[in-house]
Structure 1
Amino acid sequence: MIFLLKKKILKKLKEFKESYSKVRFYKEKEPVIYIHLNHQTKVRTYLNLFFRIRSVYKEPIVIKFSVLRMIFLAKWFKNLDYIYFEVPFSNNKKAKVFSHKKNADFRINYNYKKIYSVNDFQENTLPYIMHPGNYMQREVNKLPKKAGILMSGNFEEKIYNTKTIKSNFGLLNRWEIYQEVIKYNELISISGTDFVNELDSNRFDGKFVLMKWQSGAIPTHKWRHYLSATDFIFCAPGMTMPMCHNVLEAMPVGVIPILNYPNWLNPSLQNGLIV
C-alpha cells in the first residue's frame, strides 16, 4: 500500500507541474457560486459539483483556496474555464454557497452509509458520477448491439486484492471476481483496440468479453459509444468502495449493469421490482 500511495502522490505532483500555469484566481466583483468543502473532500466530489452547478448557474465557480486543493484540482482548470480559486484572505460576493456547513445555501453530503443501509430513495444526497471526461462530451451516438457481456477496467492485483471491500462491505473484491471470470473457457480476452476493430465481425455476439486496461483501453471520449454496442456490462467493485462509475456510464446508453452491490444505488435495486 505504501508503494501505491507513493505512486499516486508522484502522479499528482507530475499533473500539477504540467497544469499549475492554468490555475486562475477570481479577482472580479461580480457574484460567484462559492464552494467551501471539508479538507478531505475528494476531487470526484468537486467535479460532480462543477458539472451539476454549471448546468444550472452561469456565474463563475470559486473554490475556497488551499495548497492541497490547488495540487489536486489544477489539471481541471485547463478543461473547465469557469472555475477559479478564491484569492487568499479575500471575500468574494457570493450568489450561492455550496458547503458541508449548516449555514450553506446547499449542504453537500454524499450520505453513502444511509443510501446503502436502506432501500428507499434518499433526498439531498449528491449522486455518484461517471468518469469526469464523459461530462465534456456531446450526446453519445449509440451503436446496434454486437456483444454480450463486457467486463472492462483495471485488474491489477496490487490495487484490488485488498481486504477493504470484504471487511467493510462483505463483498468479493474486484481481484477475486476477476479470478473467477478468467476460469470461464469461452471468455474472450481482448484489448480495447481489437474490440473496436473487430466489433463488426460478429465475433462478440452473445459472448463474455474481458477488456483489461493493461492491454490497451478504449479512449474515454469513445468509451460510451462502443460500450453501447453491448447488452450487459459487468461492474466489479472499486478499490475502496463498491460503486463503480461504469454503472452510470452504461445505463444512459442502453446497457444493463451486472453488479454485486444493489444497495449502493439510490433507491436500492430490488429483485423483481420494475419501475
Structure 2
Amino acid sequence: MATLLKDAAEFIMLKLSPTPVLGEKVLLVDFKNPNLYHRFFYLLLKFYKISGYQIIYPMTFAKFRNLRNGDPYLAFILKEENLLSIKDIKPNSNFVRITDEQFSAEYFKNYFSENNLEKNAFHIPMSFHPLMYHKNLWNNNVRNQNNRINSIFCYGNFDDKAYLEIDRTGFKVVNRRKLYEFFKQQSEFHLIKNQEDLNQILSEKPIGKYIFAEKYVYPLPMDDVQRTLSKFRFFLCCPGVVMPLCHNVIEAISVGTVPIIQREYAQVMYPKLENGKNAVIFENLDDLKDILKNKLFNISESDCKIMSDHVFQYYQDFLSPESVVENINCNLKSGATIYLNAEHRSIKFLK
C-alpha cells in the first residue's frame, strides 16, 4: 500500500508539473513494451537526453508503476530527475518518434544467419554501464595520450559460475573465467589487493604485466574507471554472461586504451573492430599466448599512440551518445530495422 501511495503521488506530481516549452529537438516515445529491452531502453533514452533532446513519453498510471517498480535500470527513466515528461504533449512537425515496430530485440540475428551483414538495419552499439551515465561519470575527459603503462589492465567480476553461461550459447568465445585462469597461471599476473597496491602500480609503470582488479578483492570504484583505464596501453576484453559484449570494453575504448579481444567478440561490435588498427585480435588461447610472448609489448610507443588515436576516434564516430543518436535518426528515416540489445532475451531468440 505504501508503494502504491508513493507511486500515485509521484505520478500526479509529474502530470501536474508545468508543461515544457518544446524546442527544436524532441523525441516522442510511443513504446508499449520497453521492458523487453530493460537497461538498454533506459540507455536509448538517456543518449537522446545527452544529445539535447526533450523526451515526451505519455503513459498511464499502470505503465508508470510497471516501469518504476520493475528493472532497476529501466526505472531510471522515471526516477532520474528531468529525463522526460509523461504529459500528453503534441509536438510540432519537427520531432523524432520511436515505436516498438521500428525496433527488434533479435540483436544477433545478422551475425548467425546473414554472415553478419547489416541489410537495411542498424545495431545500436554496446555502451557503458548504466550507472556511469546515471551518475554522469561517462565523460570525464581523462584520456591520457602519453607515457601509458606498457601492460594489460583488466577489471570486473570473474565469478566461476555466472560467466560459464555463455558456453551454452552459439558463441565460440573463451569465457571470462577461462581467460582469468589463463592469465592467473602466468608469472606476469598481478592481482590488485587494494588502492595502495594500484597506486604503486601506477607509480612504478611496470612493463609486460597482466594487472587485474577483481570485484571481490578490489572493486575498482566507478568514478575511477576511466582515469585508471587511461593509464594503460592495453585492456583485456572479457565476454559477458551470455554474450561476448560487455560494458567495460566501451569504457576502455572511450579513453583510447587498446582492446585485446577475441575475433568473435570483435565481430559483434558494430562496426567490427580491426586488428592492428583499433584492436589487438586473437583467435584462441594459443594465439593469445604467442601475441603476449612475442608481439604485444614490443609495439613501439609511437605505434601504440597511433592505435590509441584510432581507438578513440572509433569511440567518437560510433559509440559516443551523440554519434549513436545521429546514426539511429538516419536509419529511422530510411526505414531500417533498429536492433536494440536485450541481453538474455536477445539470446533466447537464437534458440
What's the C-alpha RMSD, in Å, of the aligned pairs?
3.3
How far did 1:179 drift? 1.9
Q: Report the AA paired with residue 269 of structure 1.
A: L
Q: Report the AA paired with residue 45 of structure 1.
A: F
Following the alignment from structure 1 to structure 2, what is the Cα–Cα distance between the partners of residues 153 and 37? 34
Aligned residue number for residue 151 of structure 2? 148
Q: Report the AA paired with residue 68 of structure 1.
A: N
**Which one of the candidate residues 18, 36, 41 is aligned to 1:41?**
36
Aligned residue number for residue 122 of structure 2? 124
- Determine if contact 1:129/1:245 at 8 Å carries over to the other structure: yes
- Determine if contact 1:235/1:258 at 8 Å carries over to the other structure: yes
Residue range with higher mean Cα deviation, 128-137 or 204-213: 128-137
How far did 1:183 drift? 1.1
User: Aligned in 2, Cα 1:216/1:204: closer, same or farther, shift over 3 Å?
Assistant: same
Larger radius of gyration: 2
Following the alignment from structure 1 to structure 2, what is the Cα–Cα distance between the partners of residues 149 and 169? 24
Q: Report the AA paired with residue 228 of structure 1.
A: S
Give yes or no for the alignment of 1:180 onto 2:178: no
Give yes or no for the alignment of 1:269 onto 2:264: no
Q: Report the AA paired with residue 134 of structure 1.
A: M
Following the alignment from structure 2 to structure 1, what is the Cα–Cα distance between the partners of residues 261 and 127? 16
Give yes or no for the alignment of 1:216 onto 2:218: yes
User: What runs of 5+ residues in structure 1 fail to find an aligned partner?
Assistant: 1-15, 102-106
Structure with more contact order per residue of length (Cα contacts < 8 Å, sep ≥ 6): 2
User: Aligned in 2, Cα 1:75/1:154: closer, same or farther, shift over 3 Å?
Assistant: same
How far did 1:37 drift? 5.1
Give yes or no for the alignment of 1:98 onto 2:91: no
Q: Report the AA paired with residue 141 of structure 2.
A: V
1:168-222 Cα offsets, whole Å, 9 max, x none, are 2122221122222211122011136245421343153331111101112221122
User: Aligned in 2, Cα 1:46/1:40: closer, same or farther, shift over 3 Å?
Assistant: closer
Following the alignment from structure 1 to structure 2, what is the Cα–Cα distance between the partners of residues 145 and 193? 19
Q: Report the AA paired with residue 47 of structure 1.
A: Y
1:101-144 Cα offsets, whole Å, 9 max, x none, are 2xxxxx33466325535455675332211112333134322344
Aligned residue number for residue 75 of structure 2? 74
- Determine if contact 1:149/1:208 at 8 Å carries over to the other structure: yes
User: Aligned in 2, Cα 1:113/1:93: closer, same or farther, shift over 3 Å?
Assistant: same
User: Aligned in 2, Cα 1:216/1:22: closer, same or farther, shift over 3 Å?
Assistant: farther
Aligned residue number for residue 113 of structure 1? 108
Following the alignment from structure 2 to structure 1, what is the Cα–Cα distance between the partners of residues 130 and 197? 23
Q: Give the paired residue count.
A: 249
Task: Report the TM-score, using the length of structure 1 for normalisation.
Answer: 0.75
- Determine if contact 1:147/1:204 at 8 Å carries over to the other structure: yes
How far did 1:166 drift? 4.7
Equivalent residues in 2 for 1:9-28 (5 A)?
25-27=14-16, 28=18
Q: Report the AA paired with residue 266 of structure 1.
A: Y
Aligned residue number for residue 104 of structure 1? none
Aligned residue number for residue 139 of structure 1? 140
Task: Report the TM-score, using the length of structure 2 for normalisation.
Answer: 0.60
Aligned residue number for residue 227 of structure 1? 229
SS at match of 2:54: coil
Structure 1 segments of 4 or more deviating over 6 A? 19-24
SS at match of 2:27: strand
Identity of aligned residues (%): 23
Question: Normalized per residue, which structure has more helix?
Answer: 2
How far did 1:151 drift? 1.6
User: Aligned in 2, Cα 1:147/1:233: closer, same or farther, shift over 3 Å?
Assistant: same
